[in-house]
Structure 1
Amino acid sequence: MLIGVNGVGVALIASGAAKAWLLALLAAAIMLSFAVERLIPYHGPWNVGHDDTGRDAAHVVVNEIVVLVSLSVVPLLAALIPWTGPWPLAVQVLAAILIADVGVTLMHYASHKVGALWRFHAVHHSVKRFYGLNGLMKHPLHQSIESTAGFAPLLLAGISAEVAAAAALAAAVQLLLQHSNADYRIGPLKYVLALNEGHRFHHLKWAGIGDVNFGLFTLIWDHLLGTFSYDPRRRFTSDVLGMAAKPNYPTAYLAQLAEPFRASGACHAEAPQGDPVMQQQTT
């Protein structure tokens, strides 16, 4: 997924193919993600809908439209700040990913610390299972804020529309992998790449326990922030996901869009006492 899907995306862009091919490629990646989740599931019950599939599909469609609209302004900005990198397209895309990772990670971190941001980010943390569509299950305003934080420096530098499109595809693929129910392993790379093996810890529902592993593409900034966490003893089920402080968070799409405008309060509740896995994380 990281090399193949993104590699095909870069090749399509380099060949001058229409952007619609990138949407077709993303659709293929989603179907591939679902297939692998059923071949090697981490937790079988997560492959069964929790009355959330239609809602999550709505989130994906709306948020991808937001991304497409955002990409449409890139050529206008590039005309104001013309810049063409001296490196091959693939190298420019990789650089864009690493730069965007900084902004998105820091905004994600802030979204757990600043109440006004958390109210919108809470939509994403209301999930009770891990599967591919969770990644884009976000309030569109928060999706826009995070994307702006990640891509604004690139836009100010005059990033090309081609590099922006490839980076947007990479972000969508990353979110698929990061929230996948597939039980794949990446060995020591789990300490560097922000994939599902580490990101599950971010969705633990208790105060302090789930405020870890904020990275989108990498965990580099989590190591620097002191927010990296991993414990091989932890097994995840729906019982440990969500928001303990808000167990009855709305589940319908329109209700979730409205909730941030009236919600307040803490993002998590304290973890139960006596569970050594909850009370101590191996870092």
Structure 2
Amino acid sequence: MWIIKILYAPFMLLGVCGAAVWLISNGAPHWTLAPLFAFALWLSFTLERLAPYTDDWNEPHDDKARDIAHFVVNEAANVASVLSLPAIAALIPWTGIWPHDWPLWGQTLLAIGVADFGITIAHYYSHKWRILWRFHAVHHSVKRMYGFNGLMKHPLHQAIEMIAGTTPLVLAGISQDVAFLLAFAIAIQLLLQHSNVDIYIGLFKYLLALAPVHRFHHLKEAGEGDVNFGLFTTLWDRMLGTAYYDRKKVFSSDDLGIGEQPNYPTGYLRQLIQPFLRQP
């Protein structure tokens, strides 16, 4: 299945995201991104079966219903936030500096670059500041890595990351079209970043924050897992000194989780309230 390992990431990043830009550029309504994302989900889960990094991560670890709940709630929140953009923009007392005359693909790439910086920095400090870690720990409690992990987040922590990544864009006057495409690109990237497909990315491991790079971030011991914070790229990690990769490392479920909290709650509702409880 070498062809899957080589072509999966380029097809998702260029083919699927490119199709999204083409649809919106040609006047398609925003809801058409939903079936396109459904196709991406189906493809991701199918290829995880055909070319898995490890077969074990394709089997539920008492987490299937919980992960679906996280996905539905967090994706609904993402859509709602984008739909509210016109109302938010109306409150801004200036027209903004966003380059609306650029082609839509260029605006989308610019939005990705800005969001990548803000979300990466928020992610970095979520490992440094205890109050943020309490919410971010939900994401690190996973015991396997597969497509749904990317949106397995406490909704308040997702909101913190989105505010950090998109506030400069909103203030600059980003359009709703670009906002939808950014949200779509983030969802695709999260699929790729946590995928159980045995992705081969070659030298792109020095640039793109895909699964082979991001798995190191989920190592359960804090000293080991405080690396590779980037959402889309490893550029900011290289500036922070937190970029790391070891091609010899082989991952298993024993490597994942939270070392200091091995019995972290696994149920959805319990994970929502866990950050507010007294910590050990």
- Which of 178, 199, 204 does residue 163 from structure 1 map onto? 178
Q: 2:148 is paired with a residue of what secondary structure?
A: helix
Is the Cα–Cα contact under 8 Å of residues 99 and 107 in structure 2 kept in the other structure?
Answer: no
Which of these residues, 9, 32, 47, is aligned with residue 36 of structure 1? 47
Moved over 3 A (4+): 77-84
SS at 1:10 equivalent = helix
Residue of structure 2 in register with 1:188 after alignment? 203
Q: Is the 8 A contact 1:124 1:134 kept in 2?
A: yes
Number of aligned residue pairs: give it: 265
8 A Cα contact 1:119 1:263, kept in partner = no
Contact 1:46 1:181 (8 Å CA) reproduced: yes
Report the Cα offset of residue 182 of structure 1: 0.2
Q: Take 1:226 and 1:152, find their aligned partners in 2: how far apart are those partners?
A: 25
User: Is the contact between residue 78 and residue 155 of structure 1 (CA under 8 Å) also seen in structure 2?
Assistant: yes
In structure 2, the residue matched to 1:126 is 141
Larger helix percent: 2
SS of 1:209's equivalent?
A: helix
1:15 is displaced (CA, Å) by: 2.0
Structure 2 residue aligned with 1:224: 239
TM-score of the aligned structures, taking structure 1 as reference length: 0.91
Select which of 87, 90, 100 maps to 2:115: 100
> Quick one: structure 1 residues 84 and 77, their matched pair in 2 at CA, closer, same or farther if it must change by over 3 Å?
farther
Give 1:213 deviation, angstroms.
Answer: 0.1
Matches within 5 A, 1:40-59: 40-59=51-70
Which amino acid in the other structure matches residue 22 of structure 1? L
Q: After TM superposition, give the deviation of residue 76 of structure 1 in Å.
A: 2.3
Aligned to 1:207: 222
Amino acid at match of 1:110: Y
Show the counterpart of 1:264: 279
For the aligned residue pairs, the C-alpha RMSD in angstroms reads 1.1
Give the fraction of aligned pairs with identical amino acids, expressed as a percent.
58
1:64 pairs, out of 61, 75, 94, with: 75
Q: Report the CA distance shift for 1:18/1:126 in structure 2 as closer, same or farther (over 3 A).
A: same
Residue from 256, 263, 266 that aligns with 1:241: 256
Q: Return the alpha-carbon distance in structure 2 between the equivalents of residues 258 and 212 of structure 1.
A: 27
Give distance in 1, aligned partners of 2:160 and 2:89: 21
CA distance in 2 between partners of 1:105 and 1:130 (Å): 20
Query: How do residues 134-145 of structure 1 correspond to structure 2 at under 5 angstroms?
Result: 134-145=149-160
Unaligned runs of 5+ in 2: 1-11
More moved, 121-130 vs 2-11:
2-11
Structure-2-length-normalised TM-score: 0.92
